Amino acid sequence: MPTVETEHRQIVVIGAGPSGAIAAALLKRKGHDVLVIERQHFPRFSIGESLLCHCLDFVEEAGMLDAVNAAGFQLKTGAAFAWGEQYSTFDFSESFTHGKPTTFQVQRADFDQLLADQAALQGVEIRYGEAIVSVTVDHGKPELGVRREDGSEYRIEADFLLDASGYGRVLPRLLDLEAPSNFPVRQAVFTHVEDFIDSPAFDRTKILITTHPTQRDIWFWTIPFSNGRCSVGVVAAAEHFEGRTDNLDDCLRGFIAQSPGLASVLNNAVWDTPARTIGGYSANVKTLHGPGFALLGNAAEFLDPVFSSGVTIAMRSASMAAGVLHRQLQGEAVDWQKEFAEPLKRGVDTFRCYVEGWYSGTFQDVIFHEGSSPEIRRMISSILAGYAWDERNPFVSEAKRRLKVISELCARNAT
């Protein structure tokens, strides 16, 4: 048997997407040896195109903000919600948390390429077109089997492994860490269009989230980009797709036709890109860390696309893991559960509360309620901007209780 080529690296990051690029850059800036293994070649398509303000805090921390600001992405100032004749907007500049007042809406192929290139410019080595085919973490020292595109394989011995593989969920698959999600199975169908939107009421600086007129658990996203295009998608439980056409383009346009307001906004759109679908995307794991490894972002848990929380959670986890890992490599005693998993989960659980409230209708009642106080709207705006870890905000620290109370008040006032 031929000898398998083996190399030693201090830190290996699986995946060059946002969480991988941010984590790798942060660790490189601390003086560590970092290698990123990415299965695909960039640029490549991904959804998760409407960034939250909190994302830019981590982009700035990684030394990439100037490049992102200069890239010409669509400025995003907030979120707009539509349901029949009702319309509600939230501006991120009017938020409880004093964070970034604006962010961007991005075509992820360009955005992810930019972040990865910025990490590489800072000295991070990225190997594209290579796949992790095996992992062992015996005695806390990860060993990886890597396959190149030509079929040849080699091994890496690492001091620590960060899984930023997103939907690929490399370590959950290879180390049997998968756990069932308690979210119902939902499906998204989406595409990009040349939008030609001429509605004066449409604000290109905000994501538009549209609720189906009669089935409140069905919703649509409309995310404008700076080049005259926009991302359009529908999300619904699996049963809502039963009896519909298997043609994804016709399926998506059929859903949109049932929502006259959105159909009017997209009346001039040129549907020039075949629709795609993703289903059963909600995921969970048994643990966020183990001997010699930690899971970042979607590789660990993905909730739902409704509040665009995925990239924010991914970047937040990257920053937190990089901080803990740096101290560990400096010889400090660290507690990954108390310093990484538990504080990360608190923000994820905040998002979870409002995602569940969205689909039950209680959070929609709050969003569309016309009599909400400016202070309550500021607190909600902070969560929509991604600041789900700011426990000074009562809608974060007491998310379930506050949402229950305020939704009941909104429902009573509506009757």
Give the CA angle between residues 20, 276, 90 to the nearest 5°. 70
Rounded distance between C-alpha atoms, residue 122 and residue 28, angstroms: 7
Give the domains, in start order, of the chain with CATH numbers.
6-72+104-180+282-345 (3.50.50.60), 186-279 (3.30.9.100), 348-414 (no CATH)
pTM: 0.95
Please list, in sequence order, all residues whose beta carbon lies within 8 angstroms of the beta carbon of residue 409, skipping any fewer than 6 positions away. none
- Neighbouring CB atoms inside 10 A of 247's CB total 12
Helix axes 53-61, 309-329, angle to 10 degrees: 30
State pLDDT tens for residues 144-166: 999 999 999 999 999 999 999 98
Helix (H) or strand (E) run with residue 352 in it: helix 342-360
State pLDDT tens for residues 152-208: 999 999 999 999 998 889 999 999 998 877 778 889 999 999 999 999 989 999 999
State pLDDT tens for residues 308-318: 899 999 999 99
Rounded distance between C-alpha atoms, residue 105 and residue 108, angstroms: 9
State pLDDT tens for residues 102-111: 999 999 999 9
Structure tokens at 343: 């504080």
